[in-house]
Structure 1
Amino acid sequence: MIVTFEELQAFLAEQFPQGARYGTLEKLGDGWAEMKLDVDDEHLRPGGTVAGPAMMGLADVALYAALLGKIGLVPLAVTSNLNINFLRKPVAHSPIRARAKMLRIGRASGVGEVFVYSDGLGEPVAHATITYSIPAKR
């Protein structure tokens, strides 16, 4: 890990402040990160379930954190593909948590997976695979 938890928190607050809408970074390790989103009415869709975009945003930012923790603070590392499978209905008004892990990091891209959990359920509510484009070093 070449970026500390505190360095990444400061970077996200300065360079990506809107990311806070998608959750809070809780843990950071060597190629992995965990985030939490406190679900409120803003994150619910009709039928009383957590909206897909809320889970996708949480997964995306969590894997971004895992990638940056491994490669350094690279602002222009961007999502190039995101695939998500919604597995079961999350508990409404209960936090959701993302556990993100990088699977492969190359010179030009990184691939990882994220499991999203809902507090109160033991099994994941979603699973995402995400690819990031990493800009060339100058």
Structure 2
Amino acid sequence: MDDAAPSSASIQDVVHRGVPLAAAWGIEVLAAAGGSATCRLPWRESLLRPGGTVSGPALMGLADVAMWAALLGLTGGRDESLTTSLTIHFLRRLDPGPVLAEARVLKPGRIIVGEVMIRGETATEIAAHVTTSWAAVVPRS
């Protein structure tokens, strides 16, 4: 673990370079420190599915990116860990609009466990709950 606390903007830069899809979707890292992160997925019509709700793949991608941002906030902005599992429970539909993902590391270590709560930006109710595990990878020099 690194004591240096990178800014949300620098973590967002790492995320956009590491996951170009996050940049293409415009995912923003609003906060990331101490094993927690909040990311925002701006509204885009291309992320909707039939029926006018935000698509599952978009929500899964957002959750994965948010968890990585939480890890980057925990490791000083250097992390090459790999997702080993991601389980998502869709609790309610998300109407078109920006989406927030709040991620937190529940257990650091060789196998990292975390969770992500997803909701509409203006909503208070959780729309999806994600549990995820990652294999810790030491960054290459």
TM over 0.5: yes
How many residue pairs end up in the alignment? 135
Match of 1:71 in 2: 75
TM-superposed CA distance for 1:137, in Å, is 7.0
Kept after mapping to 2: 8 A contact 1:22/1:58? no
Please give the residue correspondences for 1:1-138 in structure 2 after superposition, counting only pairs within 5 Å: 2-5=4-7, 6-20=9-23, 21=25, 23-72=27-76, 73-74=78-79, 76-92=80-96, 94-106=97-109, 108-136=110-138
Q: Indicate conservation of the 8 Å contact 2:29/2:39, yes or no.
A: yes
Contact between 1:113 and 1:130, CA under 8 Å: does it hold in 2? yes
**Unmatched segments (≥5 aa) in structure 1:** none
AA aligned to 1:105 is: P
SS at match of 1:61: helix
Q: State which drifts further: 117-126 or 52-61.
A: 117-126
Runs of 5+ consecutive residues of structure 2 not aligned to the other structure: none
- Is the Cα–Cα contact under 8 Å of residues 100 and 120 in structure 2 kept in the other structure? yes
Aligned to 2:37, what secondary structure does the other structure show? strand
How much has 1:23 moved relative to structure 2?
1.6
Describe the SS at the equivalent of 2:95. coil
Q: Offset at 1:124?
A: 0.6
Counterpart of 2:67 in 1: which secondary structure? helix
Partners of 2:117 and 2:94 in 1: CA distance: 13
Amino acid at match of 1:83: T
Partner of 1:42, secondary structure, is helix
TM-score, scaled to structure 1: 0.88
Aligned-residue Cα RMSD (Å) equals 1.9
Contact kept, 8 Å, 1:3 with 1:68, in 2: the verdict is: no
What's the offset of the Cα at 1:119? 2.8
SS of 1:123's equivalent in the other structure is coil
Distance 2:22 2:100 in 1: 15
TM norm structure 2: 0.86
- Counterparts in 2 of 1:14 and 1:54: CA distance versus 1, 3 Å: closer
Instruction: Please give the secondary structure, in 1, of the residue aligned with 2:58.
Output: helix
